[in-house]
Amino acid sequence: MRGTARSVVMVAGVSAVTLLAAACGGGSGSTSTSSSAAAKTGGAVTVHGCNPQNPLIPGNTNETCGGNVIDAVTAKLVHYNAETGAPENDIADKIETTDNQNFTVTLKHGYKFQDGTEVKAKNFVDAWNWVSYGPNAQQNSYFFQPIDGFNDTQCADPACKTKPKTDKMSGLAVKDDYTFTIKTSEKVSNLPVRLGYTAFAPLPDSFFKDPKAFGEHPVGAGPFQFVSWTKNTEIKLAKFKDYSGKWAAKLDNVTFKIYQDEDAAYNDVIANQLDVTDSVPTSAMIDDKYKTDLPDRNAQKSVGVIQTITFAPTSVDPNYANPKIRQAISMAIDRKTIVKQIFNNTRVPATGWVSPVVDGYKANQCGEFCVYDPAKAKALLDEAGGFKGSRMTLAYNADSSHKAWTEATCNSIKNALGVDCVATPVVDFATFRSQITSHKMKGMFRTGWQMDYPSIEDFLAPLYKTKASSNDGEYSNPEFDKLIDDAAAATDPAQANAKYQQAEAILATDMPVIPMWYSTATFGWSTKVTNVKITAFGTIDLASLSLK
Amino acid sequence: MYKYVIRRLLQMIPVLLGATFIIFAMVFALPGDPTAGMCGERPCSPGFVAQFRAEHNLNDPLPTRYAKYMANLAQGDLGTTFRGEQVSDELAQRYPTTAKLALMAIVFEALIGVLAGVFAGIRKGKFIDNLVLVSTLFVIAIPVFVIGETMQYYLGVKWSLFPVTVSPDATFYELLMPAFVLGSSSIAYAARLTRTNLVENLRADYIRTAIAKGLTRRRAIGLHALRNSLIPVITFVGADFGSLLGGAIVTERIFNIQGVGGYLYTGIHNRDGVSVVGTVTILVLVFLLVNLLVDLLYGVLDPRISHD
């Protein structure tokens, strides 16, 4: 969910075009090039940053601005490979299970927090219990939902007036200093993959004494330690000398410079006054201008983001109930032309519901329904008995750059199907989301998803499972749910992926959501730095970054 | 004179109250729940929403919230934003930068603007007059972001004469280019205003008399004509200083200056009412004070304008 909250950041406006800019595209392959001149250690660099939304507590950070800082400061059980996104053990020595439900986690010895204490099993269990506990009001608490006993730690009423039954999840138990067990309420085959997410970071004992002070000065066991945060201006990190993991920092100091405007950051990179930027402004995307502005110091990489169009639940708007109508609409959208004309080819037309960056991705899951064919689309619509409503609507939040593509999409639908389609703006993201969750939104509306962890499951279960937390269209199909459950129970990863792919194929038949395109991130850097790696999440891998 | 000042200061209280209430009502009467978009495309957890609403008094009706806000304001507390920042801290950190920028822009405005106006005025119809008229028209016609981005690109990115953006320290050198950009249209207005008034006053009887009595032309213009001509210019510059202090939203964004303008912009964009109301309250106060100062300056320039 960090993903979508990233779009909140985008919406929230520091750089209104982040996603657009962070979405530069070329195929599914990554072209993470960087001049591999001899990298030296030490030195200081500046990196484009934005102001964190919340105090810097891992359990409460679900957007990029704070996430980039927390990820550098903390180490988790699992680390995602900077290039492939594949999970690799970090603090965890091993995570063992035989049934996908009872996990035993063994920690490596010697990991230290930046306050000098050692990372022990209880630091994980205490942290997870604290973050999940309802009254602590942590935005990431839902990440612990699979763990047994999670519901007992949640507030019973919306106002959280009555205390939950317990503040400890029954599924977590400390065995000894370096071992603890996790029991999930249902089978979760990809639990180890999830454990690399920010919310699962261990917290030192000092955290529990004063969470508020921690939020201003986070402490983790990661390659960098936190130095200072001048609100809206800059965040400073320094190399953590006692870091004992495999991904030690090469640099001595990293400063996140906070910009109000991405053009300013971009100009600073050209002039070598800022070392790395993760946002290239739209103006520099036109005709690939950034490639001449920043020769040999730019890169693009596919990131785990997909843009979609969701249909309002049938109970809210019955006009779209027939899957054939939804398929017809999907076929009526000329993704290729829109991506070319509106996004300057910085996105890749989607052929399914899962991003190409994750393990288990299968191309063309959407089949012919994601291929532009106005004649077939019209025929399909006629077959379904035509569209009963007066006109189609496609809603978007007007505080970000969605106007152009929604209008183009509507035009494409209108031309192909002969049904009037109007792109309707909603004043801002907050209003937009509240209309969707309170079921006031009719017709179609834009949705986006950025993965929380690199797993095919994250693109399916939270979005399309019956009553799932981000199932905006209230899609429900018992067959789909069963396949997801079976996949979660499968002990063989290949088998699990096959089940997930079968589930994804059902979406093509029901078409609750139309896949639009996958995103790509574009980066630029100064002549001073080298080894710029972009992660599958579209962030800079600070640990490998170094001066030339 | 003192009575006048005190009366003016007392008048500020209702103005301040009215302005804050209007801003407060406008910002907080907007539809939509601020927590709706906070957790992305997933609704926030009930615990989070409950705590957030309680912390920011969102469960109270508007008048109660306004009363609570004003009670805090009376004690000098400008409130805490949705992001947990103390508005007073933020403004205290930002106002010096914005003040520095505004002051530098005013210096540009006064020096270049008045000087150009004087030269154009005393050589009416000559080449320099036409040059000033055409160039000021040109500057007025171009939006400030075009001037800003063009200067940033050529002077900063391409020729590396000035820093591209301003660091948190906001040094004098770093602020030179932004201040010039910020003051550019005001320079043009000040020049035109000075020129028109000077031309008019130079035709006045008292100047003719002064020159007839044997005063040098330089003295007649400098001491008599200019002094009268500057009254409207002072009014303009004074009002301008107020709005410059209010933060030059566009300029501050282009040069990444951590000033009040950018803060106000983000506040509005994030619908963070507390920061908007706090910033505007201070802004209204600054405006009122600057206006008072300008009114008092009239008396200095023209003793006939008396406040007694």
Mean pLDDT of B204-215: 89
Asked if A540 and A533 count as a contact pair (C-beta separation under 8 A), the reply is: yes
**What are the structure tokens assigned to B262, written together?**
């950018």
A173–B contact, CB cutoff 8 A: no
Write the CA distances from A130 to A57, A148, A150, B171, integer angstroms. 11, 15, 11, 45
Distance from CA of B149 to the nearest CA of A (A): 9
Nearest Cα neighbor of A426 from A410, A445, A449, A404 is A445
Q: Give A-chain residues touching B269 at CB under 8 angstroms.
A: 12-13, 399
Name residue A258's beta-bridge partners: A49
Q: Which of B41, B168, B252 sits opposite A4 (nearest CB)?
A: B41
Query: Residue B308: is its pLDDT beyond 70?
Result: no
Q: Do A260 and B45 touch (CB under 8 A)?
A: no
**What are the structure tokens assigned to B110, written together?**
């006064």
Listed in sequence order, the DSSP H helices in A115-198 are: 121-132, 191-194
Asked if A373 and A383 count as a contact pair (C-beta separation under 8 A), the reply is: no
Distance CA(A342)–CA(A20), nearest Å, equals 10
Asked if A51 and A14 count as a contact pair (C-beta separation under 8 A), the reply is: yes
- Grade residue B307 by pLDDT with cuts at 50, 70 and 90: low
A159–B contact, CB cutoff 8 A: yes
Backbone phi and psi for residue A277, each to the nearest 5 degrees, phi listed first: -125, 140
Distance from CA of B270 to the nearest CA of A (A): 5
Write the CA distances from A139 to A193, A220, A355, B92, B144, integer angstroms. 20, 19, 25, 30, 41
Distance CA(A119)–CA(A204), nearest Å, equals 7
Q: Do B45 and A263 touch (CB under 8 A)?
A: no
How many Cα neighbours within 13 Å face the side chain of B262? 26
Distance CA(A229)–CA(B85), nearest Å, equals 12
The count of other CB atoms within 10 Å of the CB of residue A228 is 12
Distance CA(A547)–CA(A531), nearest Å, equals 8
The pLDDT value recorded for residue A28 is 34
Going by their DSSP bridges, the two strands A102-107 and A92-97 should be labelled as: antiparallel
A430–B contact, CB cutoff 8 A: yes
Averages of pLDDT over runs of 10 residues in chain A (548 residues) are 38 32 34 50 92 90 89 95 90 94 95 95 96 89 92 83 89 96 93 93 96 94 95 93 93 94 92 92 86 91 93 94 95 95 90 94 95 95 92 91 93 95 89 88 93 93 92 95 94 92 96 95 93 89 92
Q: Do B45 and A265 touch (CB under 8 A)?
A: no
Asked if B178 and B211 count as a contact pair (C-beta separation under 8 A), the reply is: no
The pLDDT value recorded for residue A458 is 94
For chain A, the first-to-last Cα distance in angstroms comes to: 36
Nearest Cα neighbor of A412 from A447, A374, A380 is A374
Q: Which of B93, B255, B271 sits opposite A430 (nearest CB)?
A: B271
Q: Closest residue of B to A136, CA-based? A: B47
Query: Residue B136: is its pLDDT beyond 90?
Result: yes
The pLDDT value recorded for residue B234 is 86
Q: Give B-chain residues touching A232 at CB under 8 angstroms.
A: 85, 90, 258, 262-263, 266
The pLDDT value recorded for residue B270 is 75
Nearest Cα neighbor of A381 from A421, A324, A434, A337 is A324
Q: Which of B48, B160, B262 sits opposite A137 (nearest CB)?
A: B48
Q: Do B270 and A13 touch (CB under 8 A)?
A: yes
The pLDDT value recorded for residue B2 is 84
Angle CA(A143)–CA(A149)–CA(A152) in degrees, nearest 5?
A: 95
Q: Do B41 and A472 touch (CB under 8 A)?
A: yes
With 0-12 / 13-18 / 19 or more C-beta atoms within 10 angstroms meaning exposed / middle / buried, residue B63 is exposed
The pLDDT value recorded for residue B32 is 62
Q: Give B-chain residues touching A65 at CB under 8 angstroms.
A: none
Asked if A497 and A456 count as a contact pair (C-beta separation under 8 A), the reply is: yes
Q: Give A-chain residues touching B271 at CB under 8 angstroms.
A: 428, 430
Distance from CA of A295 to the nearest CA of B (A): 15
Name residue A445's beta-bridge partners: A310, A395
Distance CA(B191)–CA(B139), nearest Å, equals 12
**Position A102, amino acid:** N
* Helix (H), strand (E), coil (C) string for A18-70: HHHHCCCCCCCCCECCCCCCCCECCCEEEEEECCCCCCCCHHHCCCHHHHHHH
Name residue B67's beta-bridge partners: none
Nearest Cα neighbor of B99 from B107, B87, B89, B111 is B107
**What are the structure tokens assigned to A183, written together?**
């029991």
Interacting residues of B203 by C-beta distance below 8 A, sequence separation 6+: none
The pLDDT value recorded for residue A387 is 94
Listed in sequence order, the DSSP H helices in B170-306 are: 172-202, 205-212, 217-219, 226-245, 249-254, 260-269, 273-301
Mutation for testing the A interface, residue in B41, B162, B165, B253 having most A CBs under 10 Å: B41
The count of other CB atoms within 10 Å of the CB of residue A280 is 30
Distance of CA B287 to the CA centre of its chain: 8
Q: Give B-chain residues touching A54 at CB under 8 angstroms.
A: 83-84
Going by their DSSP bridges, the two strands A298-311 and A444-450 should be labelled as: antiparallel
Q: Which of B39, B51, B262 sits opposite A260 (nearest CB)?
A: B262
Asked if B62 and B26 count as a contact pair (C-beta separation under 8 A), the reply is: no
The count of other CB atoms within 10 Å of the CB of residue A98 is 9
Write the CA distances from B294 to A68, A545, B291, integer angstroms. 49, 55, 5
The pLDDT value recorded for residue A22 is 34
Asked if B172 and B94 count as a contact pair (C-beta separation under 8 A), the reply is: no
A468–B contact, CB cutoff 8 A: no
Going by their DSSP bridges, the two strands A347-349 and A513-525 should be labelled as: antiparallel
Listed in sequence order, the DSSP H helices in B217-272 are: 217-219, 226-245, 249-254, 260-269
**What are the structure tokens assigned to B194, written together?**
């000075």
Chain segment A305-326, per-residue pLDDT in tens: 999 999 999 999 999 999 999 9
Task: Give the H/E segment covering residue B51.
Answer: helix B46-55
Q: Do B37 and A433 touch (CB under 8 A)?
A: yes
Distance from CA of A3 to the nearest CA of B (A): 8
Name residue B48's beta-bridge partners: none
Asked if A302 and A357 count as a contact pair (C-beta separation under 8 A), the reply is: yes
Backbone phi and psi for residue A93, each to the nearest 5 degrees, phi listed first: -80, -45
The pLDDT value recorded for residue A392 is 95
Task: Give the H/E segment covering residue A283.
Answer: helix A282-285
Collapse the DSSP code of A142 into the 3-class scheme (helix H, G, I; strand E, B; otherwise coil) and give the result.
helix
Q: Do A427 and B48 touch (CB under 8 A)?
A: no
Asked if A512 and A447 count as a contact pair (C-beta separation under 8 A), the reply is: no
Q: Give B-chain residues touching A268 at CB under 8 angstroms.
A: 164-165, 256
Q: Give B-chain residues touching A157 at CB under 8 angstroms.
A: 46
- Grade residue B246 by pLDDT with cuts at 50, 70 and 90: low
Interface pTM, i.e. ipTM:
0.83
The pLDDT value recorded for residue B240 is 86
Distance CA(A512)–CA(B238), nearest Å, equals 60
Distance from CA of A267 to the nearest CA of B (A): 6
Nearest Cα neighbor of A242 from A124, A119, A113, A121 is A113
Q: Do A469 and B149 touch (CB under 8 A)?
A: no
Distance CA(A410)–CA(A419), nearest Å, equals 10
Backbone phi and psi for residue A529, each to the nearest 5 degrees, phi listed first: -105, 160
Query: Residue B133: is its pLDDT beyond 80?
Result: yes
**Position A4, amino acid:** T
Interacting residues of A79 by C-beta distance below 8 A, sequence separation 6+: A87, A88, A89, A90, A196, A245, A246, A247
Distance CA(B58)–CA(B36), nearest Å, equals 13
Per the prediction, chain B carries an average pLDDT of: 86
Task: Give the H/E segment covering residue B138.
Answer: helix B127-141
**Dihedral angle over CA of B183, B188, B192, B198, nearest 10:** 50
Chain segment B50-104, per-residue pLDDT in tens: 888 888 888 888 888 888 888 888 888 888 888 778 888 888 888 899 989 999 9
Collapse the DSSP code of A392 into the 3-class scheme (helix H, G, I; strand E, B; otherwise coil) and give the result.
strand
Q: Do B254 and A261 touch (CB under 8 A)?
A: yes
Give the DSSP letter of residue B43: P
Interacting residues of B89 by C-beta distance below 8 A, sequence separation 6+: A231
**What are the structure tokens assigned to A538, written together?**
């579209």
Q: Give A-chain residues touching B35 at CB under 8 angstroms.
A: 430
